[in-house]
């Protein structure tokens, strides 16, 4: 797959759908009480990445909670591009240039990706201080390519 094509086809909606499937494969779950979110309005809020309300415990939480982009300025499409380009083996510097983030921001997100690894990615990555992969690390490229499919 062409790297330029890979980063251009990722839109916000598709990227969020993929992230949600990776990190919440059974659907959205309240982080406080672990109740599956089933209400129509709550599911709409989740799909639009807004604040979600749990009717079981009345807890409000961000849809991104439990994903690497939670609490950051990263948008789903930027994260998806990072995962794709990292899967192609690009350096953090090249990824930063392609997604419009700083090298330190990319390294931080790669560290977050290592810590909050989706169940479909094997094995959990390990990196050195400069962001380079260590032996035997990396995402399964089949799962990375899934970001580009609708």
What is the average per-residue pLDDT within 70-84? 90
pLDDT confidence of residue 14: 87
With 60 as the cut, is the pLDDT of residue 146 above it? no
Minimum mean pLDDT among 15-24, 36-45, 65-74, 130-139: which range? 130-139
Q: How confident is the model at residue 30 (pLDDT cuts 50, 70, 90)?
A: very high
Per-residue pLDDT of 102-137, as tens digits, reads 999 998 998 887 655 444 443 444 455 555 554 444
Which residues have a Cβ under 8 Å from the Cβ of 10 and sit 6 or more positions away?
Answer: 77, 80, 81, 84, 147, 148
| C-beta separation of 53 from 42 below 8 A | yes
Question: pTM score, two decimals?
Answer: 0.70
Please calculate the CA angle 134-92-114 and round it to the nearest 5 degrees. Answer: 50
| C-beta separation of 102 from 96 below 8 A | yes
Residue 137 CA to residue 123 CA, distance in Å, equals 6
Tokens of 65: 């909670």
Distances from the Cα of 108 to the Cα of 49, 55, 88, 112, angstroms: 22, 34, 18, 6
């Amino acid at each position: 797959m062409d790297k330029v094509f890979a980063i251009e086809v990722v839109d916000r909606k598709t990227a969020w759908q993929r992230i949600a499937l990776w990190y919440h494969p059974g659907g959205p779950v309240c982080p406080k009480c672990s109740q599956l979110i089933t209400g129509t309005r709550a599911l709409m809020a989740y799909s639009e990445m807004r604040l979600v309300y749990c009717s079981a415990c009345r807890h409000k939480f961000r849809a991104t909670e439990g994903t690497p982009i939670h609490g950051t300025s990263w948008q789903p499409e930027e994260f998806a591009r990072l995962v794709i380009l990292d899967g192609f083996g690009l350096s953090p510097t090249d990824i930063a240039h392609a997604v419009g983030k700083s090298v330190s921001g990319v390294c931080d997100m790669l560290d977050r990706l290592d810590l909050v690894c989706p169940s479909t990615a094997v094995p959990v990555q390990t990196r050195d201080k400069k962001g380079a992969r260590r032996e035997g690390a990396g995402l399964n490229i089949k799962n990375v390519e899934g970001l580009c499919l609708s």
